[in-house]
Amino acid sequence: MMITDIRPSPIAGRWYPDNPEQLATSLDEYMSCTEDSVQPKEIVAFVVPHAGHRYSGPVAGHAFALARGLSPELVVVVSPMHRACSQPLLTSGHDAYQTPLGPIMIDQAAVAELDTRLTNLLGFGLAPVRNDDEHSLEIELPFLQRALVGDFSLLPVMVRDQTPRVARALGLALAKILAGRNSLLVASTDLSHFYPQSVAHSLDQVILKHVAALDPEAIFQAERDGRGFACGRGALTAVIWAAKELGATAATILNYATSGDISGDYSQVVGYGAAIITRTLDQK
């Protein structure tokens, strides 16, 4: 089938290599870390950062290394929408995303079902956007293409309204759609932004503690109290709510670093964390 309506990548060649061979090699290097097996548990979701691969790739690789060999039919990537817009929740208006490793088809039936469920819960659904320049969703796609086995379709969601009401409704709606399906959830978020390294560590460890506890309410409370920060808190908490509805019982923090660990500039850093969310095999 020829795909004619493809979202072209606005960040290939800047945020990650645009040469397919170079990209594949760099992804393999990021995923070369050795992680403990999660058996006898089953992976429900990943939490991964979304800076340029040079900065966040070594952290994201710890999560995506555990995705190698998985073969989900549907992958849901939930990210923030950084650009100002009036729509609370967005999705791609195209038929596919393009990366240097090839196109990824969007599951239009899943998009339509999520739109309907969200409208019933919130009074609004997913606004389609075309030719967007949002990096935080696309940046995860080459990792998925390189790690997963076989073709998968994509359900892309970008969150502009990062309030508890919207995040929880999104999580519950996603859980209804994914129940009984061979699927994978991905939450795209960075952590604190532009604090000195020591301050960033303090803020980020609070958020990661609440991720490990599968406690989305505590993530929002930490932000309100100024004790923690995640730029994609709406995406992060929505995925946690969805994962819990799907039977997830545990989360493990796999890796943490900051931009300063790459650049050497520790005066104003961005925090990156990777985590895996799992359920026992009899809790599908």
The 10s digit of each residue's pLDDT in 234-257 is: 999 999 999 999 999 999 999 999
CA distances from 210 to 51, 177, 190, 243 (A): 22, 25, 15, 14
Q: How confident is the model at residue 67 (pLDDT cuts 50, 70, 90)?
A: very high
Question: What band does 3 get if pLDDT is binned at 50, 70 and 90?
Answer: confident
Tokens of 175: 């859980």
Q: What is the pLDDT of residues 135-176, one digit of tens each?
A: 999 999 999 999 999 999 999 999 999 999 999 999 999 999
| Least reliable range by pLDDT among 28-37, 221-230, 260-269 | 28-37
Min mean pLDDT across 17-26, 33-42, 179-188 is at: 33-42
Mean pLDDT, the chain, whole residue set? 94
Q: How far is CA 151 from the centre of its chain?
A: 19
Domains of the chain: 42-280 (3.40.830.10)
What are the b/e assignments for 184-222, b being 16+ CB within 10 Å?
bbbbbbbbbeebebeebbebbbbbbebbeebbbebbbeb
Phi and psi based region of residue 134 (left: phi greater than 0; alpha: psi -120 to 50; beta: remaining): beta
pLDDT band at 34 (very low <50, low <70, confident <90, very high): low
pLDDT > 90 in the chain, percent:
92
pLDDT band of 86, cuts 50, 70, 90:
confident
Q: Answer whether residue 4 shows pLDDT above 90.
A: no
